Structure 1
């Protein structure tokens, strides 16, 4: 019985270690997509067009764009000065860049 408990604990530990978060898209791809398409206006999470519309956590929350769904919607369809990328990026690429933006916002855009 003791060996069985150890085996169960080991299996559960391996499962927990290998499971990725729900929105763990390809961060590396998201970074590359961001650099190629977004960094021109949003360098280091800022915004050269409208300062208050930056990509820092506080601004994302204030503007109601602090979720995967909201960022995906904005990148896909654009809004005001923000262009739509639905004809330029695939849905998985948009998911990757949204994941990257949320991750960077959590890290305060520190590399």
Structure 2
């Protein structure tokens, strides 16, 4: 009984304190990208670590949990939390802006970063 109650409380807490999920807006994400990301990632490149671009093959290889199914949440996680030379944007831009830029990066990477 105690295990069931603990599980229920954990579930309720995770729902109450979860970060809201937003469906990303690609057009809004382009503005977020231009204002926050393009300095290092213009055209999907990477000015700091040239092999770790935002191109499809590199995202599949280097981005944790992105895989061949192109998980947009993996991009949002990277933007929010940063890793290595990439800074965290959590608290610097809104959760909505993170979802928007993730949608934009996914769309651009899938189209080969066509302008």
Higher Cα radius of gyration: 1
Please state how far the C-alpha of 1:26 moved relative to its aligned partner.
Answer: 1.4
Structure 1 residue ranges without an equivalent (≥5): 1-22
Which residue among 91, 97, 103 is the counterpart of 2:101?
97
Structure 1: 4+ residue segments shifted above 2 A:
none
Please state how far the C-alpha of 1:24 moved relative to its aligned partner.
Answer: 5.5
Which residue among 49, 67, 75 is the counterpart of 2:79?
75
Counterpart CA distance in 1 for 2:88 and 2:63 is 18
Asked if 1:55 is matched to 2:54, the reply is yes
Partner of 2:90: 86
Alpha-carbon RMSD across the aligned residues, in angstroms, is 1.4
Give aligned pairs, total: 89
CA-to-aligned-CA distance 1:1-37 (integer Å, 9 cap, x gap)? xxxxxxxxxxxxxxxxxxxxxx862111100000000
CA contact (8 A) 2:63 2:75 kept: no
What TM-score does the superposition give when structure 1 sets the normalisation length? 0.75
Structure 2 residue ranges without an equivalent (≥5): 1-21
